[in-house]
Amino acid sequence: MPKPKQPEQTSSGISRRDFFKSSTVGAVSTALVSGVHGEGSSVEVLGPGEVGIKLNVNGKTRRLRVEPRVTLLDALRSELDVTGAKKVCDRSTCGACTVLLDGKPVYACSVLAVEAQDKQIVTVEGLGTPEKMHPVQKAFVENDAQQCGFCTPGFVVACAAFLEKHPNPDIEDLKKGLGGNLCRCGTYDGIKKAVKQVAAEGGINA
């Protein structure tokens, strides 16, 4: 069965999904108080209704409308169809949702989409493709660091960030630096080997 995907953004910046959403949650939309500046303060108050935002995801600017309470992870997955990062715990425990925000690894389930504006967001898809893998991705494959693969996107991103900071990690660095991601299938041994291999082969920019 052909699986129709959500159409991409139209040139007007409004996708069919946005149209669809705003027509069905009209009651919520009337409560929109976007961009209200508090008196005598420079703090911008957003919401509670949808606001238009721009996210830079894997080098591309994407426009979308989200309620301010929407997390970066939900925005990526549900609004932008960037589904590499996974939601498992939804509360900063498992690391399955790890993405880079201006080069720093963050749990996308615990960052609001509105907070990620004006930052460079890199997901696992932005690191490499099956045809042109990032050194970490290649090392994961070569060391069989994935089984079911559900934790893998988060781990790949975490490892890339970790190796950037620790080009020659020792085991203690590794334990601490990658302790924020969990795997149920038990791929830690392959991940350790993959990290060591990347370090030995000249790092993530080799």
Rule CB under 8 A: which residues touch other proteins? 1, 3-6, 20-21, 24-27, 67, 74, 77-78, 81, 83-91, 93-94, 96, 123-125, 127-130, 133, 136-137, 140-142, 144-153, 156, 174-176, 178-192
CA dist., res. 139 & res. 117, Å (int): 32
Should residue 14 be labelled a site residue for ligand FES when binding is judged by CB under 6 A?
no
- Cβ at position 84, least distance to ligand FES in Å: 13
Peptide bond into 48 cis (omega under 30): yes
* C-alpha angle 79-90-4 in degrees, rounded to nearest 5: 30
| Least CB distance to other proteins at residue 41 (A) | 29
β strands within the chain, DSSP E: 36-37, 44-45, 51-57, 60-66, 98-101, 104-107, 120-122
- Taking CB within 5 to 8 Å according to partner kind, which of other proteins, ligand FES, none is near residue 123? other proteins
Query: Which one, 53 or 181, has the nearer CB to other proteins?
Result: 181
3-state secondary structure 14-48: CCHHHHHHHHHCHHHHCCCCCCEECCCCCCEECCC
To other proteins, the closest distance from the beta carbon of 15 in angstroms equals 11
Nearest-CA neighbor of 133 among 117, 118, 152, 115?
152
Q: Give the interface size with ligand FES as a residue count (CB under 6 A).
A: 23
Stretch 75-114 residues interacting with ligand FES (CB under 6 A): 87-90, 92-97, 107, 109
Does residue 6 bind ligand FES (CB under 6 A)?
no
- CA dist 102 to 34, 52, 105, 106, 157, Å? 25, 21, 8, 10, 13
Least distance in angstroms from the C-beta of 44 to other proteins: 23
**Which residues make up the interface to ligand FES (CB under 6 A)?**
87-90, 92-97, 107, 109, 146-152, 183-185, 187
